[in-house]
Amino acid sequence: MLTVHHLKQSQSDRIIWLCEELGTPYELKSYTREPSMAAPPEYRALSAFGTAPVITDGDLVLGESGAIVEYICARHGGSALVPAPEDPDFPDYLFWFHFANGSLVPGLMVDHVTATLGAPASPGPSRSIRAFAMIESRLGDAPWFAGDAFTAADIMLCLPRFAARLDLTDSPNTRAYLDRVAARPAWQRTETLR
């Protein structure tokens, strides 16, 4: 049985959402963060690096969001949510899947640290401003990040996690996308569990 070890207020939302979208049976174990926002000791003990998300599947313990999403899609997802390599949407799928944790999340962290330290910012728009401008532009071209179909790239980006922090006044495409996500029954179930 697949077990999703969910740290509340964390990127492990994605894994619940993925299982709900796929209809994969799973057990959910939820953990609350420490007042410092660190994962509690029992969560840190689950895996070598100690961060969320983590899944267990039989004897397997697996961390790192991207690895977990790929593992569940490959082992439990059939051909759902991942375009085939010959699909014209495949390169966009790869780009947005990896943009999530490769550039968007680090960009948000760089901007947060820069602002917190009062450090001089690099010239021009910050990484997160550029990332959300790219996202707005992409969602003007396609309903989902990879193209016409909802895929695991949408789950990796997990835009609803960031929506509350964003000023979307001038981002109609992102607002419309968030409405599409909110209408998905699997996201609605995720909202009640995360």
Ligand X SMILES: N[C@@H](CCC(=O)N[C@@H](CS)C(=O)NCC(=O)O)C(=O)O
- The footprint of ligand X on residues 158-187 (CB under 6 A) is none
Closer Cβ to ligand X, 64 or 191, answer by number: 64
Choose one: 7-15, 69-77, 90-98, 158-166; the region binding ligand X (CB under 6 A).
Answer: 7-15
**Shorter beta-carbon distance to ligand X: residue 7 or 181:** 7
Exposed, middle or buried: residue 130 (CB in 10 Å: 0-12, 13-18, 19+)? Answer: middle
Q: Whole-angstrom Cα distance, residue 178 to residue 59? A: 37
Place of tokens 């509690």: 40
Among 101, 114, 126, 173, binds ligand X (CB under 6 A): 101
Q: How many positions of this chain bind ligand X (CB under 6 A)?
A: 12
Say whether residue 47 binds ligand X (CB under 6 A). no
Which of 47, 65, 151, 190 is close enough to bind ligand X by CB under 6 A? 65
CA distance 133 to 27: 37
- In terms of CB distance, is 7 or 72 closer to ligand X? 7
The greatest distance separating any two alpha carbons of the chain, rounded to the nearest whole angstrom, comes to 50
Token digits for 158?
């997990």
Q: Does 128 bind ligand X (CB under 6 A)?
A: no
11 in contact with ligand X (CB under 6 A): yes
Among 15, 46, 52, 157, binds ligand X (CB under 6 A): 52
- Assess contact for 17 and 155: CB atoms under 8 A: yes
Residue type, 54: V
Site string for ligand X, 132-151 (x = CB under 6 A): --------------------
Contact 166, 156 (CB under 8 A): no
- Which letter, b or e, does each residue of 6-32 get, where b requires 16 or more Cβ atoms within 10 Å of its Cβ? bbeebbbbbbbbbbbbbebebeeeebe
Q: Which is nearer to ligand X, 30 or 137 (CB)?
A: 30
Least distance CB 166 / ligand X (angstroms): 18
Instruction: Find out whether 177 and 163 touch, Cβ atoms under 8 Å.
Output: no
Q: Where does this chain bind ligand X (CB under 6 A)?
A: 7, 10-11, 38-39, 51-53, 63-65, 101
